[in-house]
Structure 1
Amino acid sequence: MNLHMVIYLLGWLLLCEGALMVLPLLVAFLDMDSGISAFMITIALCLLLGWLMVRRKPAKRMLYLREGFVVTALGWIVISVFGALPFLFTGAITDPISALFETVSGFTTTGASILTDVEVLPRSLLFWRSFTHWIGGMGVLVFLLTLLPLTGGSHINLMRAESPGPQVEKLVPKVQSTAKILYGIYILLTILEILLLLAGKMPLFDAVTTTFGTAGTGGFGIKNNSIAGYSTYLQNVVTVFMILFGVNFNFYFLLLLRRFRKAFSMEEVRAYLLIIAAAILIITLNIRDMYESPLHAFQQAAFQVGSIITTTGFSTTDFDLWPEVSKTILVLLMFIGACAGSTGGGIKVSRFTILFKSIRKELHHFIHPQRVEKIVVDGHTVTHEVLRSINVFLITYFVVFSVSVLLVGFDNHDLITNFTAVAATLNNIGPGLELVGPIRNFSLFSGGAKLVLIFDMLAGRLELFPLLLLFTKETWKRF
């Protein structure tokens, strides 16, 4: 374990976080609210500690996959701890575990909150809550990849550790260039959504914070009723962009290269859009009598399907009141999630695509035992190593899920609440059902249960293994 390199990169993360906090500090100065001193102290702490950690450059600057996983897991914990300080310093949240829960929920783009009334917060904190979604959506380490000169395969090892999905491909030969392309697409889509929201007469502050929540597929709102109070046009814009940010960003890169046929032949993207269309149709038919017109039912169904499958978590209605079929579909969408290589969470459509092809292959093998059949996705043969990693991921996922439901159950809440609370945090969604439904929050859980859910949010965002590796002895052996 190259500990000096790990400490060096963690220092850069703190410097980066301190620099990013300048934006909410500016909002605090504009409003002259209580966030001024809180953000100034936090920025000073980040910069001071970060400087102490980076002033001595490590002799060996190579970062292997093990170090990449450790930096990623510790990095997300560190930025969450320091990101929680403004909530504590302003007194908006007095309990350290609750403050950490709120910040982890922000950075992991979960959107689960312990706050009962967000509208009483100063605007600087509201901005910071939403901004953590935008930072965490693409990943702060991916941002650092565009800036830091590292040795050999260090860049790809960091990207593999942080990027959601079963595999990470370089869009161009240099990983730093890939990171710049990804952030370029991310920023362009962010700006486009802000402009369209402004065109619908949404206030600038609302447009920026809502876009941060949409782009990061996070879901922190600045209103107690989330997005329900805005016009139908604004809700439709958010619906479209939630779905767009749930698409594999390789799709947009291919569009920029005008390789339209290859882009629209991506099986994961087609499956993702098909799942969305089918879910919207079934739910619309199921809830049509609850709204004044079929069109309104369709609009509400489209928003909630887009919000849940992309793991954004915004809401325009209390879907906990919907019929059981509709709620069941939403729970299933929680597990499916968005595309790999997007800002969305969940198990990922790509894994399910490969899984169903594996099942079909096994069925064919029973009928034709001598037949040799390969699993092909987008013209590429899926290797045994990829299949193994998906199987191990799914087994680990359900073990973590089951243990979490058991541990949270000690709070003695009902099973649906516990089950969907874990589903909402492990899949980085936000709202669940019953006591953690869209019009409620997670403040009812004890400190111990919140720590379990914090672990789930981090594990879900980091695809389980980077966080789990922190608990193995072999990870910390020095070389």
Structure 2
Amino acid sequence: MRRGHTVASVPSDLATIARDVGSLLSMEAVLMAGSALVALALGEYGVALAFILSAVATLAVGGATRHVFATAPAPRMKHGMVIAAAGWLLTALFGALPFFISAHLLSPADTAAYVPAGASYAESSLRYFADPLHAVFESMSGWTGSGLTMAIHEPSLPRALLWWRSLIQWVGGVGVIVLTVSILSRPGSGSYTLYRSEAREERIHPSIVSTVRTVWKIFLAYTVLAVIVLFGAILASESLPPAEAAWQALNHAMTGLATGGFSVTDNSIATYDSPLIETVLLPIMTLGAIAFPIHYVVLRDRDLRALVADLQTRWLFVLFGVGIVVLTLQNVRTFAPALSLRDSAFQFVSALTCTGFQSSPIGSWTAGGKLITSGAMVLGGAAGSTVGGIKIIRGYTIARGIKWQFSRVFLPASTVVTARIGDRQLDREGMEREFSEAAIVSLLWLLVLLASSVVLTNLAGPEFGYADALFEVASAQGNVGLSTGITGPSMRPLAEAMLVVNMWIGRLEIIPVLVFARAVLYGLDP
């Protein structure tokens, strides 16, 4: 029994990790095969071949690994974190294949044919993906919902690759592990361990498998609604054929709701210069930043009061209001009042929801405006949603924990001290545990942010200051996608590779990456 011999000769920890990472890659191969059909339907035969080759290679690794180690034990928490970190890393690496292979398969003449008629440039951005680092950057940015891109002119890419960018952001927004659990897992198969390893805790149903399937139903329904609304807004604002308007609406609905921010237009949302489209996108981005269990309660009970009752959602809207006012006051010193309010409102919501749609030339903003927006990207929206960043609940817990620690100083030692976090009443031990977890993760997050920003300051060009570098790293690590202009195919490879790591760390909230690094160096044995 060759298979049994192979499993027996491999440590059970490694077998479990290999089996579940193989499942992730198998799921990615299915998505690639589906995208090959999209390329064929669009008549992009060279790109279709690239997707087929990518799917075959990904399935060969993932499917074989999953089959060989099929009898491995169910994952425990130590396995789950390594699976999450390794799975997201390998998913991004294999997800780069369609970009990389397409860039090498298509001739220069074929590539140039994708440049839109009348464009001010002659070369397609596809050529940049011949560099494997650029391809990996694009894939990692997509899967993690970051939205930073190596494609200077998105409309010059084959449409099947634009679809792939939107698809991986749409899937990555909810979580590639969540997708895999919803389709492949069975109750009792370690699905909760994998669910938690992707920095998720909230349940809608007692069963994790039922929970993630409900999440996908809600997400799909919202996507359909967002496509319809955006289609109407684009038709009303732009002189575009209905088919083109539908294409743009589909892609922007997928990446907007997933708070990813990839665009199919040349200058993100600024291309439209449309208050109507920007206004329509605001609730779409906001939906992606609200925790899925809250969506479920609102839809089930048909009662919007659940939004106000939820601590994270309530603070999300408070932060929207305060941030927009502060950022407008900052920008009004440079721009006209009406434009300052419009740009500040859209960009602050885009930053706090970690979407990354850009409607304003942020590179020309003052350092103060960039730092305010950086703060929003660092914090992010609600835990249990599609956003990156530290999350509102952690920020709130740290603030409450500091207040709680001070209040204890003035009370007698015998006093029973409790604290409330949302609808939970915590005793001393519970509050200390919650405060410590939030503080540790946030501190590590900020240390990586600050160290990376110092490195990027020295690697970016002389035209960029520290505020630009901090903004760019906050955008990458917060999985946002706004840019001051540092990110691009001309940036230094070391800076680009560092941002890839920042995006990976930000999506997994650091701890799984640290567990993965320890496992690589020392193994998983206690």
TM-score between both structures, scaled by the size of structure 1:
0.92
Q: How many residues align?
A: 470
What's 1:457 paired with? 503
Structure 2 residue 472 is matched with structure 1 residue 421 = yes
Q: 1:421 to 1:283 in 2, by over 3 A?
A: closer
Matched residue type, 2:492: S
Distance 2:149 2:234 in 1: 27
1:91-128 CA-to-partner distances (Å, cap 9, x unmatched) read 12111111101110110001111222222111111111
Kindly indicate whether residue 95 of structure 2 is the aligned counterpart of residue 83 of structure 1: yes
Distance 1:353 1:312 in 2: 21
Q: Which residue of the other structure, out of 173, 176, 195, is the alignment partner of 1:140?
A: 176
Q: Match for 1:37 among 32, 49, 60?
A: 49
Distance 1:412 1:172 in 2: 48
Question: How far 1:226 moved relative to its partner?
Answer: 0.4
Which of 1 and 2 has higher RCO (CA within 8 Å, sep 6+)? 1
Distance 1:23 1:302, change over 3 A: farther
Q: How does 1:248-287 map to 2 (within 5 A)?
A: 248-258=291-301, 261-287=305-331
* 1:63 paired residue among 65, 71, 75: 75
2:39 alignment partner in structure 1: 28
2:420 equivalent among 367, 376, 386: 376
Distance 2:507 2:255 in 1: 15
The CA RMSD over aligned residues, in Å, is 2.3
Q: 1:11-410 counterparts in 2 under 5 A?
A: 11-33=22-44, 34-91=46-103, 92=126, 93-150=129-186, 152=188, 154-163=190-199, 168-202=201-235, 203-230=245-272, 231-258=274-301, 261-288=305-332, 294=338, 296-368=339-411, 370=413, 371-382=415-426, 383=430, 384-410=432-458
Q: Is the 8 A contact 1:66 1:475 kept in 2?
A: no
- 3-state SS, counterpart of residue 66 of structure 1: helix
* CA positional deviation for 1:252: 0.8
Q: In structure 2, what is the Cα distance between the partners aligned to 1:379 and 1:171?
A: 16
Task: Name the residue aligned to 2:108.
Answer: none
Identity over the aligned pairs, expressed in percent? 26
Letter in 2 for 1:208: L
- What is the TM-score when the length of structure 2 is the normalising length? 0.84
Whether the 8 Å contact between 2:78 and 2:524 is mirrored in structure 1 is: no
Letter in 2 for 1:176: V
Whole-Å separation in 1 of the counterparts to 2:416 and 2:483: 44
More displaced stretch, 150-159 vs 38-47: 150-159
Secondary structure of the residue aligned to 1:376 is strand
TM-aligned CA deviation for residue 291 of structure 1: 6.2
Distance 1:477 1:345 in 2: 27
Check conservation: 2:54, 2:98, Cα contact below 8 A. yes
In the TM superposition, what whole-angstrom CA distance separates every residue of 1:120-159 from its partner, at most 9, and x where no partner exists? Answer: 1111111111211101000011111112235737111111
SS in 2 for 1:38: helix
Q: Distance in 2 between matches of 1:405 and 1:293?
A: 31
Alignment check: 8 A CA contact 2:227 2:249 kept: yes
* Preserved CA contact (<8 Å) 2:77 2:197: yes
Q: Alpha-carbon deviation of 1:172?
A: 1.3
Alpha-carbon distance in 1 for matches of 2:306, 2:418: 21
Query: Given the superposition, is the C-alpha separation of residues 319 and 450 from structure 1 closer, same or farther in structure 2, using an over 3 Å criterion?
Result: closer
- Partners of 1:187 and 1:465 lie apart in 2 by 30
Change (3 A) 1:74 1:141: same
Once structures 1 and 2 are overlaid, which stretch shifts more, 99-108 or 22-31? 22-31
Task: For 2:408 and 2:344, locate their aligned partners in 1 and report how far apart those are by CA, in whole Å.
Answer: 40
Moved more, 398-407 or 231-240: 398-407
Distance, in Å, in 2 between the alignment partners of 1:228 and 1:343 is 23
CA distance in 1, matches of 2:150, 2:168: 16
Q: Deviations over 1:406-445 (max 9, x none)?
A: 4434525442332222211111111243x43xxxx33343
Stretch deviating more after TM superposition (54-63 or 90-99): 54-63
SS at 2:271's partner residue?
coil
Tell me, in whole angstroms, the C-alpha distance in 2 between the residues paired with 1:51 and 1:368.
Answer: 60
Larger gyration radius, structure 1 or structure 2: 2
* Contact kept? 1:423, 1:432, Cα under 8 Å: no
By how many angstroms is 1:381 displaced?
A: 2.7
* Cα drift, residue 216 of structure 1: 1.6
Query: Partners in 1 of 2:455 and 2:341 — Cα distance?
Result: 38
CA apart distance, 1:199: 1.9
User: What residue ranges of structure 2 are gaps of 5+ in the alignment?
Assistant: 1-11, 104-125, 236-244
- Code of the residue aligned with 2:88 in structure 1: it is W
Structure 1 unaligned segments of length 5 or more: list them.
none
CA contact (8 A) 2:362 2:483 kept: no
Instruction: Give CA-to-partner distance per residue, 1:247-266, whole Å, 9 cap, x none.
Output: 11121111123165454211
- Using the alignment, how far apart are the partners of 2:232 and 2:141 within structure 1? 30
Residues 311 and 344 in structure 1, CA contact (< 8 A), matched pair in contact too: yes
